[in-house]
């Protein structure tokens, strides 16, 4: 059975990270057929390593980093900047930095099936923030800004169903989609909720605080 690097990432994490978008919801999802970590089956391994606090924190860090598609250098910079904020919780600041990335917003709105695809769409210049075309996936959107599909891209076959997707896609409450104008307004700040998000950001902060 062949697997892609993204599928192996989910198997290594021990849970679905939905790195391939809609494909992860189909019966063809490799994780459904083979949820065990890559390599030899546990029964064939000579030693079973103990799960330490460090190991748990490392695994959580890798999960979040892979979900947002960031390099270790990018991710550690976000953590450092969040920890240096003079007020508020580092956890909240980290989550907000990750969620405010333009590629993440494009994904959250339903323009793309995955963050990887969203990153490519942004890099190719399909989106405008305010009146300026932005080609940097890590661009931080601000409250009050309008993110829209560039007029020149609206006639593309790829975006032929974009209005329908914006209307039906479940978006976070800090984003207000406008299917008619193929845009969305940033209405507020992303709020971290461990129960809703499913990732332990506090564990990540502790990992880098060692």
Q: Which long-range contacts (CB under 8 A, 24 or more apart) does 96-100 make?
A: 96/189, 96/190, 96/192, 97/140, 98/64, 98/68, 99/172, 99/174, 99/190, 100/140, 100/141, 100/142, 100/186, 100/190
Domain limits, CATH 1.10.1050.10, in the chain: 5-85
The correct CATH number of 5-85 out of 3.10.20.30, 2.60.40.1930, 3.65.10.10, 1.10.1050.10 is: 1.10.1050.10
37 touches 62 (CB < 8 A): no
Q: In residues, how long is the chain?
A: 210
- Name the CATH architecture for the domain at 101-186: Roll (3.10)
For residue 1, what pLDDT is reported?
A: 38
**pTM of the prediction?**
0.78
Instruction: Measure the N-to-C terminal CA separation of the chain; round to a whole number of Å.
Output: 39
Q: What is the mean pLDDT of each run of 10 residues along the chain (210 residues)?
A: 58 62 64 66 59 91 95 96 94 97 98 96 98 97 98 96 95 97 97 86 92
Alpha carbon distances (Å) from 34 to 13, 26, 31, 81, 183: 13, 14, 5, 38, 39
The predicted pLDDT at position 210 comes to: 83
Whole-number pLDDT of residue 39 = 65
């Amino acid at each position: 059975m062949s697997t892609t690097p993204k599928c192996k990432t989910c198997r290594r994490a021990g849970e679905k990270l939905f790195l391939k978008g809609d494909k992860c919801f189909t019966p063809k999802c490799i994780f459904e057929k083979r949820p065990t970590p890559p390599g030899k089956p546990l029964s064939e391994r000579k030693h079973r390593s103990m799960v330490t606090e460090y190991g748990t924190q490392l695994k959580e860090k890798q999960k979040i980093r892979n979900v947002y598609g960031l390099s270790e250098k990018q991710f550690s910079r976000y953590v450092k900047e969040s920890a240096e904020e003079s007020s508020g919780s580092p956890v909240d600041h980290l989550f907000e930095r990750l969620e405010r990335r333009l590629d993440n917003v494009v994904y959250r709105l339903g323009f793309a099936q995955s963050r990887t695809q969203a990153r490519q769409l942004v890099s190719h210049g399909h989106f405008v923030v305010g009146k300026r075309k932005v080609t940097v996936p890590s661009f931080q959107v601000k409250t009050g800004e309008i993110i829209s599909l560039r007029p020149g891209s609206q006639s593309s076959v790829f975006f032929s169903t974009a209005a329908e997707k914006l209307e039906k896609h479940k978006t976070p409450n800090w984003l207000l989609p406008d299917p008619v104008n193929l845009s969305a307004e940033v209405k507020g700040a992303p709020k971290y909720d461990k129960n809703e998000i499913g990732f332990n950001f506090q564990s990540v902060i502790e990992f880098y605080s060692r």
